[in-house]
Structure 1
Amino acid sequence: MRLFIVAVISVLMLNSCKKKVEETKKTKEKLTYASFGKEIIADDAIASASMLAHFKDMNVGDSINSKMVATVKNVCQAKGCWMTLDLGNGNETMVKFKDYGFFVPKDITGKQVIVNGKAFVNEVPVEELQHYAEDAGKSAEEIAAITQPKKTFSFEADGVLIVQ
């Protein structure tokens, strides 16, 4: 009798797991994207946490080709000519677009994106940091408080998908 009960419970658990896998597949299939820049596909994008690990292993001047999925933290409010993406643990990456060839909508903060291109570690001069702060709508006091260059995790995207 115990063996029968164990068998029934096992079958029920397997059916439950199978349904969850099917629901996950359906959710992934339903995702639609707005595309900007070079046509890219969503497949093979690494998680932002994995990208953070790669960035931490790199030195200033190092670069790698990559495709990652992340959440938008901020977007240039002047034109949509750059965005920052959340890498987790208080880290972010500054994304610019290859050859200034395309822009993204200014209202995508909080949305999930997939970016394809080159990841690199950069040291950004004070003037450039102040320019980005101005583009982001920061106050004059916040801009004036930027007085040191900053080592940043950067990304030059040739294509972007925005989850709709």
Structure 2
Amino acid sequence: MKKTILSLFAVATLVACNQTKPTADATEPVATTEEAADNTYGSGFAEENVVSASQLQTLVQDKDSVEAVVTAEVVESCQAKGCWMDVKLADNSTMKVTFRDYGFFLPIEDLKGRTVVFTGTAKREVISVDDQRHYAQDARKSKDEIAAITAPKEELRFVADGVILK
């Protein structure tokens, strides 16, 4: 049952990220002047009880999921649509951050090195080869780098309700 749900989630993610960019009057929300001024995307939130990405790793160890407000450094972001970002963890690995129900997107500009604060839910997931390759294509990796992805991997994932770019 878990594999079926995970497979359906993976297919939905691939389909949503491969769609052409919607027009301004479609589902993508338009940033308000206030949002544009303070670099907030998605739901607004208070920067309270903020934990580092490293602390989040510890919090999730023995739980199915954790609700948190997290700060981290962006390592890579989606260059196709702005639908995900990878943030740095303490062991130099990364955590993929996606946005709940594709309700908002980040700017397509290179966000590498930017500090972000985000709120939502963290959990461990097994990521299929197809999903890993899809994300590598979004990041404009080389064909050799994409072909080198040959095994599923378990990683910490985060679904954000809101993001603040610092």
TM-score using structure 1 length: 0.75
User: Aligned pair 1:40/2:42, yes or no?
Assistant: no
- Per the alignment, residue 127 of structure 1 pairs with 130
- Per the alignment, residue 160 of structure 1 pairs with 163
Q: Is the 8 A contact 1:40 1:116 kept in 2?
A: yes
Q: How many angstroms apart in 2 are the aligned matches of 1:108 and 1:143?
A: 21
Q: How many angstroms apart in 2 are the aligned matches of 1:40 and 1:85?
A: 19
User: Aligned pair 1:79/2:86, yes or no?
Assistant: no
Q: How many angstroms apart in 1 are the aligned matches of 2:90 and 2:132?
A: 21
Identity %: 37
What letter corresponds to residue 141 of structure 2 in structure 1? K
User: Aligned pair 1:103/2:115, yes or no?
Assistant: no
Q: Is the 8 A contact 1:39 1:159 kept in 2?
A: yes
1:22-41 aligned at under 5 Å gives the runs 33-41=38-46
| Corresponding pairs, count | 129
TM-score using structure 2 length: 0.74
> Is the partner of 2:133 in helix, strand or coil?
helix
> Is the partner of 2:39 in helix, strand or coil?
strand
Q: Is the 8 A contact 1:35 1:160 kept in 2?
A: yes
- Measured at CA, do residues 97 and 142 of structure 1 come closer, stay the same or move farther in structure 2, by a change above 3 Å? same
Q: State the 1:102 CA deviation.
A: 0.4
Q: Is the 8 A contact 1:58 1:121 kept in 2?
A: no
Q: Deviations over 1:118-162 (max 9, x none)?
A: 001000000000000011111111111111001011000000011
User: Aligned pair 1:151/2:154, yes or no?
Assistant: yes
Q: State the 1:33 CA deviation.
A: 3.8
User: Aligned pair 1:52/2:54, yes or no?
Assistant: no
Higher helix share: 1
* CA root-mean-square deviation: 1.4
Query: What 5-or-longer segments of structure 1 have no aligned partner?
Result: 1-31
> Is the partner of 2:134 in helix, strand or coil?
helix
Runs of 4 or more, structure 1, over 4 Å off, are: none
